[in-house]
Amino acid sequence: MLREKKENKGFVNRFLDFIEVGGNKLPHPVTLFFLFCVAIILISGIAQKMGVSVTYEVLNKTTKTFEETTVEVRSLMTEDGVRYIFNSMISNFTGFAPLGTVLVGIIGIGVCEGSGLMSALIKKIVMSTHHKAITAVVVFAGVMSNIASDAGYVVLVPLGAVIFLSFGRHPLAGLAAAFAGVSGGFSANLLLGTTDPLLGGITTEAARLLQHGYFVDATANYYFMFVSTFLITILGTFVTEKIIEPRLGEYHGEAEIDMTSISESEKKGLKGALITMIIFVVVMAFCIVPENGVFRENGSLKAWTSTGLITSMMLFFLLPGIVYGYIAKTIKNDKDVAKLISDSLASMGGYMAIVFTASQFIAYFGYTNLGTVIAVKGAATLKVIGFTGLPLIVCFIILTGFINLFMGSASAKWAIMAPIFVPMLMQLGYTPEFTQLAYRIGDSTTNIISPLMSYFAMAVAFMQKYKKDGGMGTLISLMLPYSICFMIGWIILMVIWFWLGLPIGPNVHIHM
């Protein structure tokens, strides 16, 4: 019977099982990242001895022009390299951006969950949402969360697992759906995010290498990315329900959600929490919306959106959680609040262990310049192939996705690739905005399978709450179908858009 079931497995499931089993036979992620560090040390030493270097155009932030620069591989096997390894270890760990983001965010979520507010809220969602729509809601919420900087990673990824568990579905499917929306659909949105003006500025300077005075607006890709939001939601829902959940089967783990009816004390607590949330949102609006709002520096919200937003999200969950707890009698005094915070931080011990070695690996990768070398060499290779038209654009998307596995920062990659591809495709008749659009497709789709992505370690840690023996192989096998489907689907959408000649943004077209 077991043999017949095994033989009936489709190719996709057999392939994903192979990836999971093979990946999980690897050492623990902590050990694996340590071995990656050793490999980077050795590779950097060999590459420097061979004189590996690249020359490319880089943006001078002072003059706003691109200047030619040469980057050589820096060895970690030299005296300077050894000193860097020892002297930077602490700062690599404490300065790892997602570490503070996750720990601060988990304080609010931990109190919200420990007080019972999260459970009561989930019950309310389950009772008011049709079970057939919940997958699409989770993926869509993940895509839209990109407006809130990194908050989606901290809030929605674990919440997706809890929501699915409350519906009697496998929590890892919910985690995967949320992670796919937040990270795989990174560029899509119904609204503009912080990435739009950031990439637009780099594209503007690259375009001016050929056409002085050219300007790329933040809305350059808006129409395409607006439609892409629905595409990613549909594809994410399809992959979750047709590939991921059937493969995972039923969940038999220890985690569970109490789905009894909402009690009177819970109802009162929810009302109190709702009032608290409304008051908090109103106060935040007064700090954000007015031109002289307290969170605005010289009229800009850049500082708040980059760092202060996570603190705001923490308070958004923390304050209602405390109010709910006092009303529902699950919190009696300040000691209970402190214990909930302590317990939530203690639960992140596994994540912090992974981050320690992962942060060293990512720092070493940046120090040695290996990521830059891979990006420039890959771009140069594609340039000399001689493709034109759609084959060139498709290859460019695939190359970007490949480079993204080694170089996580979207802006850093684009700063390297834009001076090469924007002028090259302008000469072939394509607008800088269209080149930027193609880049964003490739950059988003492989985020969820890249160990170099800042929040990959966090996703592994959350996953292990429901599958204690799960490792990087488990997560990659979960996310690979999303990555492949998102890339194929996005490319097809881009091709259709190309053939129809539709504008990709307000007054922005594909061809010059």
| DSSP-derived 3-state class of residue 177 | helix
pLDDT tens digits, one per residue of 114-167: 888 877 776 676 567 777 888 998 899 888 877 655 667 777 888 889 888 888
Q: How confident is the model at residue 180 (pLDDT cuts 50, 70, 90)?
A: very high
Tallying the residues shown for the chain, one arrives at: 512
pLDDT of the residue at 70: 84
Q: Range with the lowest mean pLDDT among 11-20, 192-201, 318-327, 472-481? A: 11-20
pLDDT of the residue at 172: 94
| 459 within 8 A of 177, measured Cβ to Cβ | no
Residue 58 has pLDDT above 70, yes or no: no
CA-based nearest residue to 181, from 133, 223, 112, 135 = 135
Amino acid at 366: G
Give CA 253 to chain center in angstroms: 27
Amino acid at 389: G
d(CA 87, CA 237): 46
445-451-454 Cα angle (round to 5): 85
Q: What is the mean pLDDT of residues 35-42?
A: 91
pLDDT of the residue at 114: 85
Roughly how many angstroms between the first and final C-alpha of the chain, as a whole number? 62
Q: Range with the lowest mean pLDDT among 218-222, 227-231, 346-350, 376-380? A: 376-380
Structure tokens at 477: 């096998």
CA-based nearest residue to 184, from 504, 491, 492, 484 = 484
Share of the chain above pLDDT 90, in %: 31
Structure tokens at 169: 């579905």
Q: How many CA atoms lie within 13 A of 328 on its CB side?
A: 27
Structure tokens at 118: 């999260």
d(CA 455, CA 150): 9
pLDDT tens digits, one per residue of 259-300: 556 778 888 999 999 999 999 999 999 988 888 888 888 777
266-132-129 Cα angle (round to 5): 25
Please give the mean pLDDT across all residues of the chain: 83
Q: Which residue has the tokens 């500025």?
A: 201
Q: Indicate if the alpha-carbon torsion angle 367, 49, 381, 399 is positive or negative.
A: negative
pLDDT of the residue at 117: 85
d(CA 401, CA 229): 19
Q: 55 phi and psi, to 5 degrees?
A: -120, 130
pLDDT tens digits, one per residue of 438-459: 999 999 999 888 877 778 888 8
30-35-36 Cα angle (round to 5): 95
| 233 within 8 A of 140, measured Cβ to Cβ | yes
Domain boundaries, the chain: 15-500
Residue 387 has pLDDT above 70, yes or no: no
Q: How confident is the model at residue 1 (pLDDT cuts 50, 70, 90)?
A: very low
Residue 6 has pLDDT above 50, yes or no: no
pLDDT tens digits, one per residue of 308-354: 777 888 898 899 999 999 998 999 999 999 999 998 888 778 778 87
Q: Which segments of 61-193 are extended strands (E)? A: 65-72
Q: What is the mean pLDDT of residues 356-369?
A: 85
DSSP codes joined into one string, 4-49: HHHHT--HHHHHHHHHHHHHHTSPPHHHHHHHHHHHHHHHHHHHHH
d(CA 178, CA 136): 10
d(CA 108, CA 315): 6
Range among 12-16, 350-354, 493-497 with highest mean pLDDT value: 493-497
| 230 within 8 A of 492, measured Cβ to Cβ | no
Q: 144 phi and psi, to 5 degrees?
A: -70, -25
pLDDT of the residue at 3: 41
**Which residues in 237-270 are b (16+ Cβ under 10 Å) and which e?**
bbbbbebbbebbeebeeeeebeeeeeeeebeebb
| DSSP-derived 3-state class of residue 59 | strand
DSSP state of 468: T
d(CA 199, CA 255): 42
Q: How confident is the model at residue 2 (pLDDT cuts 50, 70, 90)?
A: very low
Q: Which segments of 162-204 are extended strands (E)? A: none
